[in-house]
Structure 1
């Protein structure tokens, strides 16, 4: 055993200095040498080894995902946890905005669309309100970078974030419970139970309860005395029907309810001429005379049916997602009289939203070199939304604008895989999409609308992708991919000074190549990808600069390029590390494009003859050039269990908040870390741990209000807590 261990060490050292493509005769690993489990993904709508998929894709699952959600955070916790992914929101725990490779959309209007699609249990969550569904009882999260315009249903030119819930099974009763308590009485309770009902039926019930006390004192005459708390619960019930090996049906019903504080906008947070906090800043205090509240109720259901017909498999995916009520009201000027130039707060939301989708897909099961899949897709959304303005001094509503949007789309798609040889696989995909939106103003109170009260937009587009995967050896694959994507036109509501605005459809052409490898007898794996993309007519959101006015525009061209890399390894049997990083360069290329500036800021871009800021050459908003993430876990085996220490870190470089560059609106680089010390026993059945999130208490300005004074938003505070988990 000792001789084999020494031989193995020599082999590892030799492998480390040899070229990746070199053929090396490897001995079998020692019996006690751990190996990384094979990761399978459904990035191509089939279950495949992640190494074989010609797409830059990352996964989050198991312990790594559990650690991130332990502090009761919402879906924004995914920001920076894999290369090239950012998530932020000006609405707090609701309405997250996703960015992949710097490509996203800062639009905060009720009907905003995003170029990053979020898919939960094979059903697209199109409206931004739906994208914030909590993370619990999840089997896997996949981040698919670059255009996914042929196999996924809606608006995916930047990529897809894909969630898959744990599924019921008929094997036996099993489940887990997970309880944590942290700073500010942040409580997180999560549980799931799998219950076989018969040989053919099984049920899985999952639930989440989250709470945080209000802890930010409002020093303005005790109005809304304390803020920043929330209460949230979500449920999911699934039924599996599997009478035989040729058919199964999975039914899913889910809901979410949340209420608490809306995002806190802090007046004069940014020191003039810098991007530092103003003197005297204190996270636990705010001085505002406006009201602050947020509530949301959503529900949904889906049915996923599969027929195995021998030569082919047939899939039917039927989805419904609804918003029963959404309302968010915040003091956008951020302060009280004497601090800010005007007294205004806004409230907006949805009175109802109904989304239906249906997909039929058939895939081949050929033993030969050629396999294919094809299908049709239908999407329908009907939404009623509104925005209100209020006088912060009196609390009286000063205006009301209600709008309605009807969106229908259908698509036909197909893809082909052809094994040219044992080592070379070619793939190609094609999709035709037709998308139609009808938008109109339903009611306007104290809003004199300019222009027509309604518009209709319709656009059709063919997207395609071609890729190839080549096996350099049994452990190393190289791939290359060319892909296109499409996002349908977007429509924004009117206001007193801007009519209904329409942003034309945007398209992308992307080139990508990469290498994926298993290393050292699968004790490690690594991947690296490079990409280059051009977006034509990118949809951008412009805020008035000196007033609360938003409108949509198109940039003639946006350029992006970069590199992504990931690494995972057992350094020893007890020590495991992961690391990832990305470089994302973005640039707006449109010399004719200019925007109104915020008069309180120090603008760094040229000013044209009309006094507007020229944004040609600027990076996209919320697009850091550099991101890094890393985790490390060390385990000590004891007589009756295991003691472990785990730490995780994420870093992003500076970002622009808006389309123009200004000293005050450039967010500083940010590094956040977590630490977890715990003990598990009875074969991992039980675990107790102490944890910290943002352990260095990093405090950063992460967003601002464009049309106001130097009002901004900050990141989540440091947390310490304890957690207990059990499995049965």
Structure 2
């Protein structure tokens, strides 16, 4: 009933927003396209700041861009980073955005509009692309680079294939760091919280004289181990981490229209991997077993994760006669290793004692990436004259190579290494793209883009990697595969200005995700998934209201994905196989609203409805070993398989919402404030089939922050809490062995204090 009430309230809220669209009051003078520097200037009290977005690779007022976009700003990031969370902290912070992981801090998986990828392999591709400082982060273990000293995070929903390329059919999450400037200054933020969670974040901006400036940004996060192991008699063995990152930028900006920005960055992380817990789900339900203790596990295997990431970029810009030439060169390398006790318990039925519950057999494994390098180069020519027709065109090149290791261990034999299945992947791609933007009339703007991409991928698995020699995979099933794909993507959109403060837009866009090759493994042969393609339709409305005291955007969309890539994980065979579904479909609506309810009271709300469905009448996947399957089953070759036609996509909530409220109380030399933020998502399936057990209940989490700022906001002290209701919930499962799952122990309830100083 609570879920129904919340969904009813969400529907009413979105309906009220839509019915309010015709009632647009207070037409304003037309806003130009502000620069980012102009957009950063404080707005008058009680008014919203102008928001720019670079969805089309240039800064534009978000109201004028025909893309469903949300900006995650400084206020939200400050609150989230105070808790020392990883990239999963962004889950639900924008309509239709979900982030989850079964790999700990090192491997976040992003979803937009219910469309993502649950594949845990380190060469998995995702349909949501992450762009950090104009450089694509293709490897999933690059996507976890921390969010600090950022100007903004842009969430761009829907296919972005024309300007951002392949592997963006669901959308793009774009991170933009604060750039160096000629203004000296910086900041330092210190926080401490429960479980000895601590964070140090800071930046120093350094004018170097003449045309040079530099900026150095640092982040350090720590949490003590706080989860014990009852089997090994320890009280604090897991849950801790040390995660540090640094970014150094050097800007050269002489007069004459040339600009160069160099970026070097590094991340080093070590700590616990995800903790799998055997038989924590009540049979026939999605509830945790009675007496479940988030602070304790009972396992006999190893656990740990470490990651090192180094990278750099060089962004050059030449302003020529009426055009600007952009060059973006990027290089990334990452090495990661993660080990876990996959069976989630100790012993086995054939090696007592064992538990908790039934442990049919022992599984302890690890994954690693090394020898990784990614090189990217983009050249883009932009026509920047203030005329009715504007265009841009460019070339893009991508080259990535790395080694993937899949390890197995003998838990009962002291954790000895028993298998190292080693694969090598190389992926290169190039593209030619262009787009045009034309003001047909002062009120009508049309845009179109097109991109041609060639994507080549090869993967080879070595046949002899066991310490004792030989191999435990069957070479006859094929240990090498290659793909070559050529695709053309396009999009068309139009904007109609209802008033100087309100726009309608419509957009049709296509996109694709390149073919994927999954390495051969102990329990399954090598598999290949064909590329998937999407066609998306979207209409929306954006407006400023009440003399910029409120801002609203609303859209509805529908998309169809052909040859959707799926990963059938688990089942009684303990396999992971790539599949292509004939089609999948999604439809929904999204709402963003920011409003000053009073001069000192700011409310933000985002909501989305996402309905997804797999459409393939004959597609089957393996059944779980111990769960209650809710889909029809068939028997093929002596195995029971599950028909998944009509199921929603995994990790795709139908409803999601986020809201925040900030109240400020001015005093003589500063202000007191109270800030609270909440995120809700409805139930999700963890697997491709539907079952009673491997389902995530609706989830509501919230935070609270009470603080005081003084000396023109240069100083701030705050008390904060994250996950203040102490919600403990199943967030994923492993279905091949028993009723093993994992919970939200990466986001426990914490309380702490923070101090910030700007100088």
Normalising to structure 1: TM-score of the pair?
0.96
Q: Which residue of 2 aligns with 1:683?
A: 712
Out of 571, 595, 598, the residue aligned to residue 621 of structure 2 is: 595
Any idea what SS the aligned residue of 2:63 has?
helix
Structure 2: distance between partners of 1:27 and 1:477: 13
Long gaps (5+) in structure 2: 1-15, 30-42, 348-353
Q: Which residue of 1 aligns with 2:345?
A: 335
Q: Which residue of 1 aligns with 2:370?
A: 351
Q: Is the 8 A contact 2:627 2:735 kept in 1?
A: no
Any idea what SS the aligned residue of 2:80 has?
helix
Q: Which residue of 2 aligns with 1:303?
A: 314
Q: Is the 8 A contact 2:588 2:611 kept in 1?
A: yes
Residues 529-585 of structure 1 show CA distances to partners (whole Å, capped at 9, x for unaligned) of 000000000100012302432110000000100000010011111100000100000
Out of 575, 580, 592, the residue aligned to residue 606 of structure 2 is: 580
Q: Which residue of 2 aligns with 1:3?
A: none
Out of 180, 200, 211, the residue aligned to residue 191 of structure 2 is: 180
Q: Which residue of 2 aligns with 1:383?
A: 402
1:605 pairs with 2:631: yes
- Offset of residue 623 of structure 1: 0.2
Alignment of 1:109-258 (within 5 A): 109-170=121-182, 172-222=183-233, 226-258=237-269
- Offset of residue 243 of structure 1: 1.4
Q: Residue 17 and residue 45 in structure 1: after superposition, are their counterparts in 2 closer, same or farther (change >3 A)?
A: closer
- Offset of residue 19 of structure 1: 6.2
- Offset of residue 392 of structure 1: 1.7
- Offset of residue 16 of structure 1: 10
Residues 168-200 of structure 1 show CA distances to partners (whole Å, capped at 9, x for unaligned) of 012x31100011101100001001000011121
Residues 402-457 of structure 1 show CA distances to partners (whole Å, capped at 9, x for unaligned) of 00000000000000001000000000000000000011013442422342221110
Structure 1: distance between partners of 2:624 and 2:91: 27
Q: Which residue of 2 aligns with 1:4?
A: none
Q: Residue 20 and residue 228 in structure 1: after superposition, are their counterparts in 2 closer, same or farther (change >3 A)?
A: closer
1:673 pairs with 2:684: no
Any idea what SS the aligned residue of 1:257 has?
strand
Q: Is the 8 A contact 2:226 2:235 kept in 1?
A: no
Q: Residue 391 and residue 693 in structure 1: after superposition, are their counterparts in 2 closer, same or farther (change >3 A)?
A: same
Residues 349-399 of structure 1 show CA distances to partners (whole Å, capped at 9, x for unaligned) of 112210000000001023221110000000000010110111222211221
Structure 1: distance between partners of 2:582 and 2:57: 33
1:40 pairs with 2:72: no
- Offset of residue 592 of structure 1: 1.0
Q: Residue 680 and residue 706 in structure 1: after superposition, are their counterparts in 2 closer, same or farther (change >3 A)?
A: same
Q: Which residue of 2 aligns with 1:447?
A: 472
Q: Which residue of 2 aligns with 1:417?
A: 437
Q: Is the 8 A contact 1:20 1:476 kept in 2?
A: no
Q: Residue 536 and residue 129 in structure 1: after superposition, are their counterparts in 2 closer, same or farther (change >3 A)?
A: same
Out of 39, 64, 78, the residue aligned to residue 66 of structure 1 is: 78
Q: Is the 8 A contact 1:317 1:360 kept in 2?
A: yes
- Offset of residue 65 of structure 1: 1.6
Any idea what SS the aligned residue of 2:534 has?
strand
Structure 2: distance between partners of 1:78 and 1:365: 34
- Offset of residue 27 of structure 1: 9.3
Residues 648-673 of structure 1 show CA distances to partners (whole Å, capped at 9, x for unaligned) of 00000000000000000011000000
Any idea what SS the aligned residue of 1:264 has?
coil
Q: Which residue of 2 aligns with 1:725?
A: 756
Q: Is the 8 A contact 1:530 1:563 kept in 2?
A: yes
Any idea what SS the aligned residue of 1:367 has?
coil
Q: Which residue of 1 aligns with 2:99?
A: 87
Deviates more, 1:547-556 or 1:127-136: 547-556
Number of positions where the alignment pairs a residue of Structure 1 with one of Structure 2: 710
Q: Residue 334 and residue 163 in structure 1: after superposition, are their counterparts in 2 closer, same or farther (change >3 A)?
A: same
Dislocated runs of 4+, deviation >3 Å: 15-28, 222-225
Q: Is the 8 A contact 2:626 2:735 kept in 1?
A: no
- Offset of residue 244 of structure 1: 1.2
Structure 1: distance between partners of 2:204 and 2:627: 54
1:429 pairs with 2:449: yes
Q: Which residue of 2 aligns with 1:620?
A: 649
Q: Is the 8 A contact 1:89 1:97 kept in 2?
A: yes
Structure 2: distance between partners of 1:608 and 1:451: 25
Q: Residue 188 and residue 550 in structure 1: after superposition, are their counterparts in 2 closer, same or farther (change >3 A)?
A: same
Any idea what SS the aligned residue of 1:93 has?
helix
Q: Is the 8 A contact 2:455 2:486 kept in 1?
A: yes
Q: Which residue of 2 aligns with 1:12?
A: none
Q: Is the 8 A contact 1:224 1:291 kept in 2?
A: no
Deviates more, 1:335-344 or 1:585-594: 335-344
Any idea what SS the aligned residue of 1:150 has?
helix
- Offset of residue 85 of structure 1: 0.3
- Offset of residue 222 of structure 1: 3.5
Q: Which residue of 2 aligns with 1:10?
A: none
Long gaps (5+) in structure 1: 1-14
Q: Is the 8 A contact 1:273 1:602 kept in 2?
A: yes
Q: Which residue of 1 aligns with 2:691?
A: 662
Any idea what SS the aligned residue of 1:68 has?
helix
Normalising to structure 2: TM-score of the pair?
0.92
Any idea what SS the aligned residue of 1:624 has?
coil
Q: Which residue of 1 aligns with 2:351?
A: none
Q: Is the 8 A contact 2:114 2:653 kept in 1?
A: yes
Q: Is the 8 A contact 1:187 1:210 kept in 2?
A: yes
Structure 2: distance between partners of 1:538 and 1:16: 34
Q: Residue 672 and residue 194 in structure 1: after superposition, are their counterparts in 2 closer, same or farther (change >3 A)?
A: same
Structure 2: distance between partners of 1:684 and 1:169: 20
Structure 2: distance between partners of 1:231 and 1:526: 40
Structure 2: distance between partners of 1:433 and 1:459: 8
Q: Residue 709 and residue 470 in structure 1: after superposition, are their counterparts in 2 closer, same or farther (change >3 A)?
A: same
Deviates more, 1:100-109 or 1:699-708: 699-708
Structure 1: distance between partners of 2:409 and 2:235: 16
CA RMSD of aligned residues (A): 1.7
Q: Which residue of 2 aligns with 1:9?
A: none
Any idea what SS the aligned residue of 2:141 has?
helix
Q: Is the 8 A contact 1:312 1:363 kept in 2?
A: yes
Q: Is the 8 A contact 1:126 1:154 kept in 2?
A: no
Alignment of 1:554-565 (within 5 A): 554-565=580-591
Any idea what SS the aligned residue of 2:318 has?
strand
Structure 2: distance between partners of 1:464 and 1:128: 26
Alignment of 1:448-597 (within 5 A): 448-449=473-474, 450-597=476-623
- Offset of residue 245 of structure 1: 4.3
Structure 2: distance between partners of 1:387 and 1:416: 46
Structure 1: distance between partners of 2:28 and 2:620: 63
